[in-house]
Chains A and B, each alone.
Chain A
Amino acid sequence: EAGVAQSPRYKIIEKRQSVAFWCNPISGHATLYWYQQILGQGPKLLIQFQNNGVVDDSQLPKDRFSAERLKGVDSTLKIQPAKLEDSAVYLCASSSDQGAGQTQYFGPGTRLLVL
Chain B
Amino acid sequence: AQSVSQHNHHVILSEAASLELGCNYSYGGTVNLFWYVQYPGQHLQLLLKYFSGDPLVKGIKGFEAEFIKSKFSFNLRKPSVQWSDTAEYFCAVGSNYQLIWGAGTKLIIKP
Contacts and interface: CB of A to CB of B under 8 A. Distances in A.
Interface string A33-67: 00000001111110010000001100000000000
Interface in B75-111: 90, 92, 94-99, 101-104
Contacts, number: 51
Interface stretch (A17-25, A68-76, A77-85, A97-105): A97-105
B102 A42 contact: yes
Interface residues of B, number: 22
A41 B5 CA distance: 11
Given A99-B97, A101-B94, A106 B43 contact: yes
A3 interface: yes
Interface residues of A, number: 24
Contact of B103 (A4, A40, A100, A101): A40
A45 B94 CA distance: 12
Contacts of A42: 4, 90, 92, 101-104
B72 interface: no
Nearest to B96: A100
Given A42-B90, A42-B104, 6 more contacts: A40-B103, A45-B98, A55-B97, A56-B97, A100-B98, A101-B49
| Minimum-distance CB pairs A-B, first 6 | A100-B94, A42-B101, A106-B44, A101-B32, A106-B43, A43-B101
Interface of A: 3-4, 40-45, 48, 55-56, 91, 93, 98-101, 103-109
6 contacts: A3-B43, A45-B99, A56-B97, A56-B98, A100-B97, A106-B45
